[in-house]
Amino acid sequence: MAVFSKYIDLAMQKYDENGLSKTTISRVILCAAICAYTFKTTYPLFGKQFVNKNNVEDAYKNNNRTSYVELNDHIVNTTEDEDSKLTEAEKLIIARQLKKQSLHLEPGLNKEFVLQLRKLIKIIVPKVLCYESSLLIVHTLCLISRTFLSIYVAALEGAIVKFIVRKDLKRFVIVLLKWFGIAIPATFINSMIRFLESKLSLAFRTRLVRHSYRLYFKNQNYYRVSNLDGRIENADHRLTEDIAIFSTSVAHLYSSVTKPCFDLMLIGFALMRSTQKIKANIVSGPTLAIVVISLTAHIIRVVSPKFGQLVAEEANRYGYLRHIHSRIITNSEEIAFYGGHKVELQQLRQAYNRLVIQMNNIFIQKLWFVMLEQFFMKYVWSGTGMIMVSLPILMSGTSLPKKDVTDPIYKEVLNSSVSERTQYLTTARNLLISAADAIERLMSSYKEIVALAGYTYRVAGMMQVFEETAQGVYHKNTIVEKNEMNGVIEFKDGKPIAKGRIIYTDTPNDMTITLRAVPVVTPNCDIVVSSLTLCIEQGMHLLITGPNGCGKSSLFRILSGLWPIYAGELHIPRPVEDKPCMFYIPQRPYMSTGSLCDQIIYPDSREDMLRKGFTENQLRGILKMVCLEHIAQRDGFNAVRDWKDILSGGEKQRMAIARLFYHRPKYALLDECTSAVSIDVESTIYEIAKSMDITLLTITHRPTLWKFHTHVLEFDGQGNWSFRQMEPNEQHLP
Ligand SMILES: Nc1ncnc2c1ncn2[C@@H]1O[C@H](COP(=O)(O)OP(=O)(O)OP(=O)(O)O)[C@@H](O)[C@H]1O
């Protein structure tokens, strides 16, 4: 270390001899370090933007998947860090985003934003006279009062200075007391403004949440949005975070736009009055202010980054990160068994890194923007303010003729004139500070409006998707019009049209289910079976078999109305409240939150159960049928447990069968729902179900179940099928 400092001293001496001082060298080093750091922080952004922009444009031009994949490969190659390499899933998301961008669906301050915001405002303030509008009125009154108070306080401060200059103690004390007195209502109004803003935000949020929950649960939308439509990645994030941020942002914007407007209006009048008082020109100051402010505002608007798009993308990435977290929580056991923590950790890291990249991007864009903004607001405007305040004094016509300063009358007039000018200067300065603050808030509101455009796009977009999916209108990017459709599906504007019809039969005695030339088509428009025709009557126990992926479960999805029907007709009995016609039981049964009783009666509520006249004893009888009475003895009917984890796989399946016995539908759609149940219990269950007059539609690979059925529907996995009555020897297979 000592050797090193010796070398430095020697070098310094040499430089000193050449006329370069230590201070100059330190300055040069410091400047170089700052430049290097700035370059390091900003270069990757510009470099990346340049690469992305060029490649994205190419990808748009070619408009094919390979170019998107190549683009993503390029991004992967340019990123050195192992963690920030994009996974296949993320590539798919980027490709979708690119496609969305090419459809001009970017958020921004445009007509689309105004229309979307108008639609959302109609939801959050539904009537002229409602809770939200009354909150708005009180809030507005508070904002106006706050402005009057600010002007009054500015005037008082002017008067205080005036009496100090005049050395008038008595008046000074009176005005000071007034000043303290006004502090109480002023602070209360300030606190009230914040309180009302929070109340408004919560009220808006509640309206939006209620509206979107209603839509989300309309016509099985919660299923359709994630399975049949590809526009919303994480509906949960939009329903929670985005709605909350949107509501807060709207409520905050209301006060941050209206208050500065009132401030500017009233402060303008007050300034004019005080300028008039000293008989100065009232036009020059405001004209100068208007010119400077309009010019700077225009520059700020032109150079402002697209914060709307940036925050929308940030919310997207945040949503994806949360989605991965919730997936890990849901499948923790499976991941732990597989030892899949490495893969999951990597995916989490990648999702987080993408979020960090986006946030850094926003920070860097803000760095330059805030710098420019501060320069205009703190320096350009302050300078203009100084000129504005001094102009009336410098150019006023009240200057006194030069006389003998020992003349007492002249001295008094001179003193009074100086104190008046000081009062004007203090009041005007305070008012100008308030006005500058108001304009600064108005300018920052612009940023907030642009960010609001991003959230409006996400919330309004979500509502639109919910409305469309409820009506059966889906958009999935992976769907392409294929030649091999053979006229099974008709396309319009690149989207498949669900031309099939569901006809509900109202005749009480006719419980037949009929499919006439109905194709089985996946949400990706892959045709699994081109045309299916069959008629299922009550008492006709149907066994459905075939290889994996041949369309067995898809048939149930069509019968339950989850998948659209692209052609043909489906006749089913109209569902009646309290008496379901069809009841579906999947292989992995769903356990709801609640007590044991809630599990058995799901999806009924306790009230429904009581209305139907069910007692705990009857529920115990049902549990006995499925050999689960020990659960009732162990936990009772009312203890709330995490049933998903407490029950074993076979117990969960038996619990699902208990639901079937509770609801006693006409038809049971059993999708390998007893695969984990022992064969003897399974046989008992099937016998009980038949004795309850429930018609069974069973998907199974177990030969032991054949004997409980009368008909068989067999798929061959190539799109062909056969429907026939079972031979007696088939029914008696071991
Ligand atoms: N949500 C979906 N989106 C796109 N394709 C799907 C979807 N669900 C199923 N498919 C596809 O539809 C085809 C039929 O699936 P289905 O679930 O009906 O098979 P399955 O006959 O019940 O098979 P398994 O015996 O394995 O349960 C499969 O090729 C599957 O990949």
Q: What integer pLDDT is reported at residue 163 of this predicted model? A: 86
Quick check: CB of 552 below 6 Å from ligand 1? yes
Q: What integer pLDDT is reported at residue 543 of this predicted model? A: 95
Strand partners, 668: 583, 696
ipTM of model: 0.95
Same domain, 213 and 358: yes
Q: Tell me whether residue 73 is in a domain.
A: yes
Ligand 1 centroid from CA 700, angstroms: 15
Ligand 1 centroid from CA 559, angstroms: 15
Q: What integer pLDDT is reported at residue 30 of this predicted model? A: 66
Quick check: CB of 523 below 6 Å from ligand 1? yes
Structural domain for 42, as ranges:
2-102
Ligand 1 centroid from CA 553, angstroms: 7
Same domain, 159 and 88: no
CA distance 77 to 75: 5
Entry pTM: 0.69
Same domain, 285 and 415: yes
Same domain, 448 and 499: no
Same domain, 425 and 513: no
267 and 435 Cβ atoms separated by less than 8 Å: yes
Q: Tell me whether residue 475 is in a domain.
A: no
Q: Tell me whether residue 478 is in a domain.
A: no
Question: 551 vs 236, 561, 668, 672, 720, CA distance in Å?
Answer: 29, 15, 18, 14, 11
Q: What integer pLDDT is reported at residue 103 of this predicted model? A: 43
Q: Tell me whether residue 510 is in a domain.
A: yes
Quick check: CB of 700 below 6 Å from ligand 1? no
Question: 411 vs 161, 416, 418, 419, 725, CA distance in Å?
Answer: 20, 9, 11, 12, 122
CA distance 603 to 615: 17
Query: What is the biggest distance separating any 2 CA atoms in the chain, rounded to whole angstroms?
Result: 135
**Domains of the chain: total:** 3
Q: Tell me whether residue 535 is in a domain.
A: yes
Ligand 1 centroid from CA 656, angstroms: 22
Measured CA angle at 421 (ends 417, 423), to 5 deg: 115
Same domain, 270 and 320: yes
Q: Assign residue 534 a region: left if phi > 0, alpha if psi is -120 to 50, beta otherwise?
A: beta
Atom number, ligand 1, closest to the C-alpha of residue 672: 27
SS3 573: strand
Q: What integer pLDDT is reported at residue 78 of this predicted model? A: 40
Measured CA angle at 689 (ends 686, 695), to 5 deg: 100
Same domain, 90 and 119: no
Of 57, 130, 43, the closest CA to residue 98 belongs to: 57
The CATH number given to whatever domain includes residue 515 is 3.40.50.300
Helix (H) or strand (E) holding 36: helix 22-62
Strand partners, 594: 641
Same domain, 213 and 288: yes
Count the neighbouring beta carbons within 10 Å of the beta carbon of residue 274.
21
178 and 446 Cβ atoms separated by less than 8 Å: no
Q: What integer pLDDT is reported at residue 486 of this predicted model? A: 59
CA distance 53 to 69: 15
Ligand 1 centroid from CA 550, angstroms: 7
Question: What's the first-to-final CA gap in the chain, in angstroms?
Answer: 90
Residue 426 has which token pair? 């203090």
Quick check: CB of 230 below 6 Å from ligand 1? no
Q: Tell me whether residue 477 is in a domain.
A: no
Q: What integer pLDDT is reported at residue 690 of this predicted model? A: 94
The CATH number given to whatever domain includes residue 150 is 1.20.1560.10
Helix and strand counts by DSSP (H, E) for the chain: 25, 14
Same domain, 86 and 118: no
Ligand 1 centroid from CA 551, angstroms: 6
- Decide: residue 77, CB within 10 A, 0-12 exposed, 13-18 middle, 19+ buried: exposed
Residue ranges of the chain with per-residue pLDDT less than 70: 1-31, 33-108, 274-275, 277-282, 392-393, 395-417, 477-486, 578, 730-734
Indicate the residue among 56, 80, 102 that finishes a domain: 102
Same domain, 442 and 519: no
Q: What integer pLDDT is reported at residue 401 of this predicted model? A: 53
Quick check: CB of 550 below 6 Å from ligand 1? yes
Indicate the residue among 102, 120, 146 that finishes a domain: 102
Q: Which of 553, 560, 720 to mutate to test the pocket of ligand 1 (most atoms within 8 A of CB)?
A: 553
Q: How many residues does the chain have?
A: 734
Q: Tell me whether residue 649 is in a domain.
A: yes
Q: Tell me whether residue 282 is in a domain.
A: yes
Antiparallel, parallel or unpaired: β 501-505 and 569-573? parallel
Same domain, 585 and 446: no
Q: Closest residue (by CA) to atom 26 of ligand 1?
A: 548
CA distance 165 to 424: 12
Locus of tokens 């109004």: 189
Same domain, 497 and 617: yes
Ligand 1 centroid from CA 524, angstroms: 11
Strands (E), 604-734: 640-641, 667-671, 695-699, 711-715, 721-725
Q: Which of 522, 532, 697 to mutate to test the pocket of ligand 1 (most atoms within 8 A of CB)?
A: 522
Strand partners, 535: 514
Indicate the residue among 68, 102, 136 that finishes a domain: 102
